[in-house]
Structure 1
């Protein structure tokens, strides 16, 4: 039975407090992605959540990374937080047109929703219908009302992955809704600011072994405080 590929990285790569912990002191900002990609094969793009990257920005990221590097692009907060999937066809087209400049390095596209966004199946399906089937999509819902079989079944219908998120604040559900798995590790005890123990990582490894039978597995550490994300991602790679 064919196994999926495992991609391990962090949620973003630009953090000032990683200097001296991961990045060498005085490393120029423009060289950080190149340095990062010498250690990891994937990263989430945080910048695209707050801004609309130009095609030239995506082209630059593409040229700085090895041939087998994969970017997970975080969809604009205009789509997820301001419009909450309603009336966003034009905004989505603009986002994906630019992101396609990553070419073969464009991996899953992450939609991260606010905790105040409650279940709305009609709105969700209306949005899913406008997504091209040529790309991979993942949804991270942060209100517990979304932990519902109707949601899982709808995501399965469109082969969209439910984000398996670990945190002390957001709902936890290990729902498999696509032919790949997407995991976000936000910190188990303190949101974004706690380091995973060897025991916790060992437990994750056992789950990953099982999930690789489904398809590719993407794991991103978002506990960026004190460089914990880098430390944990390196440990998991080992």
Structure 2
């Protein structure tokens, strides 16, 4: 059985204060509080802008030893450059501090824009540019330009790097796409997005990556007990094939942490029953 980690997409949300975060938990303590209740979290800020190495060091220090961060890839690469010029842009992204998470670095998530259609050649070029170990990533990071200062271009140990890809255009619903992911060892994100984007539940790597954006209304609706039971059953099946990462992104009304804790509890009950 693979290891299952359940978390949320980000952790800094005002609506969570006084609901998930009790009064008295300051904003500086929010990550520490979440990490005591869940096993992982997605770093979202890295999607919008390059973070600083000191931030990654701080986040790692605030969480338990077995906690894992998934890190969202830069939208400059996915949305603005649309995966072109990947070699040059990856250096800046990797040098911004991702490797400073050390053993707590989990998968790197690349989310494609809804307007980017399936292009096997474009994806192949991008996948081939991705370093597959932290040592290789450190070498890529050393090629960063002046826009990254300070930079972090070392790794404490050489570990494998994992990548997941989230798609949002219907042209990806084809065996040619999933076959391409399998050849490159990239996990296809299983994304529940209220029917707005494709939902493909095919395992294409040695781990499964799930993003739950809201079943009825994107980013807003919570999951019912029945719905969480159904996702728990799916996670149990995927765990037979490898590790599973599940992140709730229905954050608008503080449903994400509530649902994440509920799903985690269901899966913990499984382990206790065994």
Q: TM-score, normalised by structure 1?
A: 0.97
Q: Which of 173, 182, 189 matches 1:147?
A: 173
Counterpart mapping for 1:80-159 below 5 A: 80-97=78-95, 98-134=97-133, 135-159=161-185
Aligned partner of 1:72 in structure 2 is 70
Q: CA deviation at 1:217?
A: 0.4
Partner of 1:7, secondary structure, is strand
Q: Tell me how far 1:213 sits from its aligned partner.
A: 1.1
State the partner residue of 1:189: 216
Greater Rg by CA: 2
Quote the RMSD (CA, aligned, Å): 1.0
How many angstroms apart in 1 are the aligned matches of 2:20 and 2:58?
Answer: 22
User: How many equivalent residue pairs?
Assistant: 236
Q: Distance in 2 between matches of 1:74 and 1:127?
A: 16
Cα displacement (A) at 1:230: 1.0
Residue 89 of structure 1 and its aligned partner are, at CA, apart by 1.4
Query: 2:40 aligned to 39, 42, 47, which one?
Result: 42
SS in 1 for 2:254: helix
Tell me, in whole angstroms, the C-alpha distance in 1 between the residues paired with 2:28 and 2:34: 11
**For 1:6-17, what aligned pairs fall within 5 Å after superposition?**
6-17=4-15
Distance 2:168 2:197 in 1: 5
Q: Which of 221, 235, 252 does residue 225 from structure 1 map onto?
A: 252
Stretches of structure 1 that go unaligned for 5 or more consecutive residues are none
CA distance in 2, matches of 1:25, 1:93: 41
